[in-house]
């Protein structure tokens, strides 16, 4: 026969002990299991840790006995004083499961959409996952600040939750879908119209103000004078190609000083560090064939080699540096070696087109028409021959752009090559 038992019951005692002036009060509490209830026949190890820690239960019992002997207005005196310091800890970061649970509580999304939401957050580098914990990237912070500032109603939790409810009503036939779409579109179009009035510089100023403690720790406006030209001010800037952000002089392009780049791979501790010391362009030497000066410079995407001074309307030859741990070790010999790329290795035996070895920030690559193949980092670029290059072009890491082989335009007229 089944046995029905009530829930367990505990007696709680709370005591406040203070000085006569009443400006210092210490609180203490203890509890005792008065009625076991279902625990009399069932040992619930998950709900109670007492069975796993009998010493802890004994200590609770001793505390309860001591406090239960006290009465109102009893005089007590300290026996021992133990000094301990406790710090308030921030809320723990979300894991994927915790974030999904939070969205469920807010009424955001559907079970079928949670996986895609997590994928988008990581694919767009808004967050990174470290030890199964989600860490926000600076790019994600920027997007969140931009949307919260210009689309405050749209990104509000209640907006998405209400939309989910309205979609359910449409599915149930209690709401007319055309009217719902018209209402949402009128509200969204207003925000889009207002956002279109903001240019890039205005957005940068808004983000700079929002993240000033992170971007310029311990620096006020007067301390942000450009150390290169002494006229401009260090400002937060977004790359014109949308591939990154950096802190540089606001007199660009007259002054091309870059104080710091903000990488998506930087964690928040690295992002909040003080702005590093400026890197002034360094003269490496002279090109032997043209007698032009060769400089080592720093840009938004890293260090690079440049031949000649900056001249308005002129494009100087440049070569990026890839994975350089110590820029102080770069010499004029290294610069001349990098400036020789792209280098012709020979002609492809199939079509007589040139096979090139190129160099970029990512490293060395082999290029032939629309095919690009990376050179393994274990290979010495100086020892790469045409034979090696042809093997790389047919390897599994080669990428092909343009029309695949055998796919020709039947309507196109034949072209005679000379």
pLDDT digits (tens, 9 = 90+) for 329-369: 888 888 888 888 888 999 999 898 899 988 887 788 999 98
In whole angstroms, give the CA distance from residue 136 to residue 126: 6
Residue 334 pLDDT = 86
Largest CA distance in the chain: 110
| pLDDT attached to residue 118 | 92
| Separation of alpha carbons 376 and 392, rounded Å | 9
Higher pLDDT, 247 or 264: 247
Give the pLDDT score at 192: 93
Token readout for 230 is: 């002494």
Residue in the block written with tokens 């079928």? 112
pLDDT of residue 299 exceeding 80, the answer is no
The C-alpha atoms of residue 142 and residue 50 are separated, in whole angstroms, by 48
pLDDT at 231 over 80: yes
CATH top-level class for 96-200? mainly alpha
| Mean pLDDT, all residues of the chain | 79
The pLDDT confidence band at residue 42, using thresholds 50, 70 and 90, is low
- The predicted-structure confidence for 259-293, as pLDDT tens digits, reads as follows 777 754 444 444 333 334 456 788 888 888 888 88
- What pLDDT, on a 0 to 100 scale, did the predictor assign at position 323? 64
Reported as a pLDDT band with limits 50, 70 and 90, residue 206 is very high
Highest mean pLDDT among 184-188, 222-226, 398-402, 406-410: 184-188
pTM: 0.48
Contact 166, 177 (CB under 8 A): no
End-to-end CA distance of the chain: give it in Å, rounded.
99
Q: Write the CB contacts of 157 (distance below 8 Å, at least 6 apart in sequence).
A: 106, 107, 108
What residue ranges do the domains of the chain occupy?
9-69, 96-200, 201-259, 282-333, 341-400
């Amino acid at each position: 026969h089944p046995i029905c038992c009530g829930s367990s019951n505990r007696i709680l005692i709370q005591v406040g002990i203070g000085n006569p002036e009443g400006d210092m009060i210490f609180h203490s509490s203890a509890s005792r299991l008065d009625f076991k209830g279902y625990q009399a026949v069932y040992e619930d190890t998950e709900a109670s840790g007492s069975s796993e820690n009998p010493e802890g239960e004994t200590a609770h019992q001793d505390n309860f006995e001591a406090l239960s002997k006290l009465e109102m207005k009893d005089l007590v005196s300290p026996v021992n004083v133990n000094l301990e310091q406790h710090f308030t800890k921030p809320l723990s970061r979300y894991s994927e499961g915790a974030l999904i649970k939070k969205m469920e509580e807010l009424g955001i999304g559907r079970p079928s959409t949670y996986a895609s939401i997590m994928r988008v957050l990581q694919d767009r580098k808004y967050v990174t996952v470290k030890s199964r914990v989600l860490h926000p990237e600076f790019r994600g912070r920027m997007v969140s600040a931009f949307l919260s500032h210009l689309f405050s109603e749209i990104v509000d939790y209640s907006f998405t939750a209400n939309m989910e409810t309205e979609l359910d009503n449409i599915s149930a036939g209690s709401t007319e879908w055309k009217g719902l779409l018209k209402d949402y579109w009128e509200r969204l179009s207003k925000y889009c119209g207002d956002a279109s009035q903001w240019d890039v510089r205005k957005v940068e100023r808004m983000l700079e103000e929002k993240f000033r403690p992170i971007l310029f720790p311990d620096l006020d406006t007067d301390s942000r004078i450009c150390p290169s030209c002494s006229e401009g001010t260090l400002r937060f800037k977004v790359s014109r190609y949308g591939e990154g952000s950096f802190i540089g002089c606001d007199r660009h392009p007259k002054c091309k000083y870059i104080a710091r780049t903000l990488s998506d791979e930087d964690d928040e501790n690295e992002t909040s560090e003080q702005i590093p010391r400026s890197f002034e362009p360094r003269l490496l030497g002279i090109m032997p064939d043209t007698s032009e000066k060769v400089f080592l410079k720093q840009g938004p995407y890293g260090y690079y080699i440049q031949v000649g001074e900056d001249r308005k309307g002129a494009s100087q030859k440049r070569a990026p540096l890839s994975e350089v741990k110590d820029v102080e070790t770069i010499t004029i010999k290294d610069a001349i070696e990098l400036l020789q790329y792209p280098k012709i290795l020979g002609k492809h035996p199939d079509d007589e087109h040139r096979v090139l070895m190129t160099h970029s920030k990512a490293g060395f690559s082999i290029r032939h028409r629309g095919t690009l193949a990376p050179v393994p980092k274990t290979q010495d670029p100086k020892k790469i021959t045409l034979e090696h290059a042809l093997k790389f072009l047919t390897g599994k890491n080669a990428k092909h752009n343009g029309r695949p082989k055998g796919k020709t335009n039947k309507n196109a007229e034949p072209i005679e090559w000379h």
